C-alpha cells in the first residue's frame, strides 16, 4: 500500500470516528427530547430498591444512548440532595449495562451476508432522516427524523472505520505491531486512555469491533481494549463530581471504583483461565464458541456479559462501597459552615448534560421558591396579627434565599434556552422567568407587611381584635389559593387553574371589605389613623402577593407533572 493510501486510510479512520461521535450525540439529544417526560418519570422513580435503581440506570442509558449523561444526572441528583449515595450507586451500575446497547446495535447491524450489505441499508437511514428533518413541520416528526439520521450516521461512521481498518490490515508493520501487544494490562490502559480522550466508550467498543472484524487484532485483544473503555468512561463523571459537593465527589468515585473493580476481577479470571489451560482457554475461546463466525457479536456480547456480571458482584457490596467512599471523601467543615447561606435546592450545572432533566429541575426549583415565598408571607401576616417578631431571623434568611434563587435561576434558564429542547419545555421556559419574578415579588410584599407591622409596634399601638380576625381569614384564604395554584402547577390541572382564579377573586373582594371595615373603625374611633394607614397598605400588599401566586398557575401550558417538588408546606395546610 502506497504512502498516499496509508494517509487516506488514516484520514478515513478519523473521519469515521468523528461521524460516529456526532451520530451518538445526535441520537442521544433527539431520543432525550422525544422521551423527556418518560425520562423524568424514570429518574423520579429512584427508590431504596437496589434492583430498581439498576433498572432505572440501564433503561435511562438505553433511552438516551449515553452512560456518561446518566451518571452525570445521578451525580447531579446527589449534589442537589434528591438522591442518596446508595441510590446513585445502583443507577450508575445500571448505566454500565445500558451503555452496551450501542455495541449490540453495531454488532448485529453489520452481521449477515446478504446481497445488499446491512450496513449500507442502515446507513441509508441518514438520508431518510435528513429528508424528514428538512420537510417535516411538526417538532415530534423532526425529532424522529433526527433519531433516524443519527442511527444511520452510526453506520456511515462504522463503514468508514471498517474500510480504514481493512486498509491497515494490508500493512504488515501495523499487523506486526498490534500482534506484539500481548500484555493484557497494556491493552486495558490503551482502551482507557483512548476512551478518556474521546469521552465515549461506545466509540472505543465500535473501533475494537471493526479491528477484530478486519483481523487487525484478536478477539481477546479486543476484549481487553473494551474492558479498558469502561475505566476511561469514568472521566466525564469525575469531572462532574469535582465541581460538586462532597456527596457528588463520592458518587463519581463510586463510578470509578465500580468500573476498576470489574476490570480487576475479569483480569484475574482471565489470568487464571490462561494459566490453568496453557493459554488454550480464555474469554476469546468462550465467546468464539458461543457465536462462531461472528467476531463482532462475540465482542459485543462479552461487553454486555462483563457489565452484567460486574453489577451482580458489586450490588450486594453497595452499602460497603458507600461507607468506603464516605471515609475517603470526608465532609468538609466549610460545607457545614455554609449550610445557612442562601443556596439552590434542585438546579445544578451538571444537569446540563441532559437538558430535559435540567428543565425538570428548574420546575422543581420554582415550586420550591413558591414554598419559601408562602412561608414568608404566612410569617409576615402572623407577625402583623400578633406583633411578635421572634421569627424575624428566619424570615430574613428566607428572603435572602428567595433573592439568591431568583438570580441563579435567571442565569440557569438563559443557559437552557441554548440547549436542544422539546416544544413543551421551551414553552415552559418562556414563562419561567416571569414565574420566578412573581415569586420574588411575593417575598418583597411579605417584607413590606413586616415593615407595616413594625411601624405599628414602634408606636406602641396594635390592631383591633376585628382587624386581627380579618387577617386570620385572609391568611387562610391565601393558604387555599396556594393549594390550588400548586395543584395546577404540579399536575398541569386546568380545573385547579379555574379554582385558583376564583380564589383570587374572592381574596380581592375580601381585601376590599377589610379596607372598608377599617375605614369605618377609624371613623368610629376604634382605630387610629396611624394604625389604619398601615393596615390598609398591609391588606393591599397581601392581595397583590396572592395575585402573583395566581400568575404561577396561569403559566400552565400542558405541563403534566413536576415530580419531586417541595410543596408539602402548602399542600398540608388546613382548608
Q: What share of the chain is helix, strand, coil (3-state, %, to 5)?
A: 80, 0, 20
Mean pLDDT along residues 93-99: 87
128 SS3 class: helix
Separation between Cα atoms, residue 465 and residue 467, nearest integer Å: 5
* CATH code (residue 426): 1.20.58.220
pTM: 0.66
Confidence of residue 306 (pLDDT cuts 50, 70, 90): very high
Residue 568's pLDDT is 35
Look at residue 571 in the predicted model and tell me its pLDDT.
Answer: 33
Name which residue leads in pLDDT, 394 or 172. 394
- Indicate whether 46 and 188 sit together in one domain: yes
Q: First vs last Cα of the chain: how many Å apart?
A: 84
Q: Which of 186, 173, 187 is nearest to 221 (CA)?
A: 187
With the CA atoms of 242, 246, 248 and 249 taken in that order, what torsion angle do they form, in degrees rounded to the nearest 10?
Answer: 50
Instruction: Determine, yes or no, domain membership for 343.
Output: no
Per-residue pLDDT, 116: 45
Query: Are 358 and 224 found together in one domain?
Result: no
What confidence tier does 478 reach under pLDDT thresholds 50, 70, 90? very high
Mean predicted confidence (pLDDT) in 50-58: 82
Looking at residue 47, the DSSP 8-state letter turns out to be -
Residue 18 exposure: Cα atoms within 13 Å on the Cβ side = 6
* CA 112, chain centre distance (Å): 38
> Mind listing the pLDDT tens digit for each residue in 434-477?
999 999 999 999 999 999 999 989 888 888 889 999 999 999 99
Does pLDDT of 238 surpass 80? Answer: no
What is the pLDDT, as a whole number, of residue 70? Answer: 76
Region 525-530: mean pLDDT is 80
pLDDT (mean) for 282-302: 88
Report d(CA 407, CA 416) in Å as an integer: 15
Q: Are 393 and 357 contained in the same domain?
A: yes
Q: Are residues 421 and 295 in the same domain?
A: no
Q: Domain for residue 391, yes or no?
A: yes
User: In the predicted model, what is the mean pLDDT of residues 2-31?
Assistant: 78
> Considering the chain, what is the average pLDDT of its residues?
82
From the list 562, 197, 194, the residue with the least C-alpha distance to 371 is: 562
- How far apart (Å, rounded) are the C-alpha atoms in residues 222 and 219? 5
Give 301's pLDDT tier (boundaries 50, 70, 90): very high
The residue range of the domain holding 291 is 3-328
| Res. 566: pLDDT tops 80 | no
User: 242 and 288 share a domain?
Assistant: yes
**Does pLDDT of 399 surpass 70?**
yes
Instruction: Tell how far CA 353 is from the center of its chain.
Output: 7
Q: Do 457 and 510 share a domain, yes or no?
A: yes
Q: What's the CA gap between 444 and 18, in Å, rounded?
A: 52
The answer, yes or no, to whether residue 361 has pLDDT greater than 80, is: yes
Q: What is the dihedral of CA 496, 77, 32, 229, to 10 degrees?
A: -170
Q: 359 and 306, same structural domain?
A: no
Q: Are 242 and 249 in contact (CB under 8 A)?
A: yes
Q: Of 337 and 8, which is predicted with more confidence?
A: 8
Q: Are residues 321 and 359 in the same domain?
A: no
Q: What is the pLDDT of residues 545-563, one digit of tens each?
A: 999 999 999 887 444 444 3
Amino acid at each position: 500500500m502506497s504512502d498516499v493510501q496509508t494517509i487516506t486510510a488514516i484520514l478515513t479512520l478519523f473521519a469515521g470516528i468523528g461521524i460516529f461521535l456526532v451520530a451518538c450525540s445526535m441520537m442521544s439529544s433527539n431520543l432525550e427530547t422525544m422521551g423527556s417526560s418518560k425520562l423524568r418519570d424514570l429518574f423520579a422513580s429512584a427508590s431504596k430498591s437496589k434492583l430498581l435503581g439498576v433498572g432505572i440506570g440501564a433503561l435511562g442509558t438505553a433511552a438516551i444512548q449515553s452512560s456518561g449523561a446518566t451518571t452525570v444526572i445521578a451525580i447531579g441528583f446527589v449534589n442537589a440532595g434528591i438522591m442518596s449515595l446508595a441510590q446513585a450507586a445502583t443507577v450508575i451500575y445500571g448505566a454500565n449495562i445500558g451503555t452496551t446497547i450501542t455495541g449490540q446495535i453495531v454488532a448485529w447491524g453489520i452481521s449477515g451476508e446478504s446481497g445488499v450489505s446491512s450496513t449500507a441499508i442502515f446507513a441509508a437511514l441518514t438520508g431518510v432522516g435528513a429528508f424528514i428533518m428538512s420537510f417535516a413541520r411538526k417538532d415530534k416528526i423532526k425529532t424522529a427524523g433526527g433519531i433516524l439520521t443519527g442511527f444511520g450516521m452510526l453506520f456511515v461512521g462504522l463503514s468508514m472505520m471498517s474500510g480504514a481498518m481493512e486498509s491497515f490490515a494490508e500493512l504488515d508493520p501495523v499487523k506486526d505491531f498490534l500482534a506484539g501487544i500481548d500484555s493484557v494490562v497494556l491493552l486495558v490502559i490503551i482502551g482507557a486512555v483512548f476512551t478518556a480522550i474521546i469521552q465515549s466508550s461506545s466509540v472505543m467498543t465500535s473501533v475494537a469491533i471493526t479491528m477484530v472484524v478486519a483481523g487487525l487484532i484478536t478477539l481477546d485483544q479486543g476484549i481487553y481494549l473494551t474492558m479498558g473503555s469502561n475505566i476511561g468512561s469514568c472521566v466525564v463523571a469525575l469531572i462532574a463530581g469535582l465541581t460538586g459537593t462532597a456527596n457528588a465527589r463520592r458518587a463519581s468515585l463510586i463510578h470509578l471504583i465500580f468500573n476498576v473493580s470489574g476490570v480487576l476481577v475479569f483480569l484475574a479470571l482471565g489470568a487464571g483461565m490462561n494459566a490453568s489451560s496453557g493459554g488454550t482457554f480464555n474469554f476469546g475461546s468462550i465467546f468464539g464458541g458461543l457465536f462462531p463466525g461472528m467476531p463482532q457479536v462475540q465482542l459485543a456480547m462479552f461487553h454486555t456479559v462483563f457489565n452484567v456480571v460486574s453489577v451482580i458482584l458489586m450490588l450486594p457490596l453497595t452499602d460497603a462501597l458507600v461507607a468506603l467512599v464516605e471515609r475517603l471523601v470526608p465532609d468538609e467543615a466549610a460545607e457545614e459552615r455554609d449550610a445557612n447561606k442562601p443556596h439552590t435546592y434542585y438546579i445544578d450545572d451538571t444537569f446540563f448534560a441532559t437538558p430535559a432533566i435540567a428543565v425538570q429541575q428548574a420546575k422543581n426549583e420554582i415550586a420550591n421558591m413558591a414554598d419559601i415565598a408562602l412561608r414568608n408571607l404566612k410569617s409576615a401576616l402572623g407577625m402583623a396579627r400578633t406583633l411578635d417578631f421572634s421569627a424575624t431571623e428566619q424570615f430574613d434568611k428566607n428572603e435572602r434565599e428567595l433573592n439568591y434563587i431568583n438570580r441563579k435561576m435567571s442565569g440557569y434558564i438563559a443557559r437552557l434556552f441554548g440547549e436542544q429542547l422539546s416544544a413543551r419545555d421551551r414553552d415552559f421556559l418562556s414563562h419561567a422567568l416571569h414565574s420566578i419574578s412573581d415569586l420574588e415579588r411575593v417575598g418583597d410584599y411579605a417584607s413590606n407587611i413586616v415593615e407595616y407591622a413594625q411601624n405599628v409596634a414602634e408606636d406602641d399601638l396594635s390592631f383591633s381584635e376585628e382587624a386581627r380576625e380579618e387577617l386570620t381569614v385572609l391568611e387562610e384564604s391565601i393558604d387555599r389559593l396556594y393549594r390550588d395554584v400548586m395543584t395546577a402547577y404540579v399536575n398541569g390541572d386546568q380545573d385547579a387553574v379555574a379554582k385558583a382564579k376564583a380564589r383570587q377573586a374572592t381574596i380581592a373582594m375580601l381585601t376590599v371589605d377589610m379596607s372598608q371595615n377599617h375605614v369605618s373603625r377609624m371613623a368610629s374611633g376604634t382605630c387610629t389613623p396611624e394604625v389604619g394607614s398601615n393596615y390598609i397598605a398591609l391588606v393591599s400588599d397581601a392581595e397583590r402577593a396572592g395575585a402573583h401566586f395566581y400568575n404561577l398557575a396561569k403559566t400552565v401550558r400542558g405541563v403534566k407533572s413536576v415530580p419531586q417538588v417541595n410543596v408539602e408546606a402548602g399542600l398540608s395546610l388546613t382548608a
